[in-house]
């Protein structure tokens, strides 16, 4: 098996339809959460709300810690702790990053939302999803390697007026647990990623203000 092939290895029970089901359920949880997170809520309270929703949706387990970031914490990477426990403001921005297991397969998705009517925050949230879509379409059309996808993402982000955080480069998913395959980052993967195996992550920062936006989903 080639090095690239080893990074895309799966277990005997892997099924792409189960991956799509986990993807769908993750988005359902995010959508439910997004309408319940309101100004005046603490970041910690939003996380507890997320855990409750996952329990109601009969998830088997959480495979990565749930991240909910408010305000300036939207600039933090996955491994960086939030600064304090901020309160969501009336005109604010937040994102949800959720990874949970359904049918033995790993769902992972994330999106950014706003409160109030700040036009730059609204534009920032929309831009993360737009950039994701551009990169996803580039992959589908050109079958680009993971490394090339993030080069393209950086170019497109700059063209759109945002700064791409290249410390966030996507990752493997699979039947649980994907970590045994040591797939590494999508942005370091030397060949074109196969469908149903990789999460494309996009995190951008406002060029001058202390916030950003995040969007991620399964490449299928």
Scanning the structure block, which residue is given the tokens 């706003």?
114
pLDDT category of residue 1 using cuts at 50, 70 and 90: low
**Every domain of the chain and the residues it spans:** 3-218
Q: Is the pLDDT of residue 216 over 80?
A: yes
- Structure confidence at residue 114 (pLDDT): 98
Give the number of other Cβ atoms within 10 Å of residue 182's Cβ: 10
- Structure confidence at residue 182 (pLDDT): 86
pLDDT category of residue 88 using cuts at 50, 70 and 90: very high
Q: Is the pLDDT of residue 146 over 70?
A: yes
Give the number of other Cβ atoms within 10 Å of residue 161's Cβ: 12
- Structure confidence at residue 3 (pLDDT): 77
Per CATH, domain 3-218 is 3.30.360.10: no
Q: For residue range 30-61, what is the model confidence (pLDDT) as tens digits? A: 999 999 999 999 999 999 999 999 999 999 99
Q: Which tokens belong to 126?
A: 């929309």
30, 134, 150, 43 alpha-carbon torsion, rounded to 10°: -20
Distance CA 30, CA 188 (A): 28
Asked whether the whole model's pTM tops 0.95, one would answer: yes
Q: Percentage of residues in the chain with pLDDT exceeding 70?
A: 100
- Structure confidence at residue 151 (pLDDT): 98
| Residue 14 near residue 35 (C-beta atoms within 8 A) | no
- Structure confidence at residue 98 (pLDDT): 96
């Amino acid at each position: 098996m080639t090095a690239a092939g080893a990074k895309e290895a799966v277990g005997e029970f892997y099924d792409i339809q189960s991956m799509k089901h986990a993807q769908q359920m993750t988005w359902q949880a995010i959508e439910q959460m997004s309408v319940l997170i309101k100004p005046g809520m603490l970041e910690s309270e939003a996380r507890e709300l997320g855990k409750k929703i996952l329990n109601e949706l009969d998830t088997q387990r959480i495979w990565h810690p749930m991240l909910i970031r408010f305000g300036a914490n939207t600039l933090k990477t996955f491994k960086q702790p939030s600064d304090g426990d901020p309160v969501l403001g009336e005109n604010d921005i937040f994102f949800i990053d959720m990874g949970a297991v359904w049918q033995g397969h790993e769902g992972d998705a994330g999106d950014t939302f706003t409160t109030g009517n700040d036009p730059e925050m609204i534009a920032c949230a929309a831009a993360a999803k737009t950039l994701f879509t551009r990169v996803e379409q580039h992959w589908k059309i050109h079958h680009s390697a993971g490394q090339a996808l993030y080069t393209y993402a950086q170019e497109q982000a700059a063209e759109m007026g945002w700064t791409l955080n290249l410390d966030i480069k996507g990752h493997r998913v699979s039947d649980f647990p994907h970590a045994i395959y040591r797939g590494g980052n999508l942005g370091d993967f030397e060949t074109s990623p196969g469908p149903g195996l990789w999460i494309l992550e996009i995190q951008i920062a406002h060029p001058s203000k202390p916030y950003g936006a995040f969007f991620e989903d399964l490449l299928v």
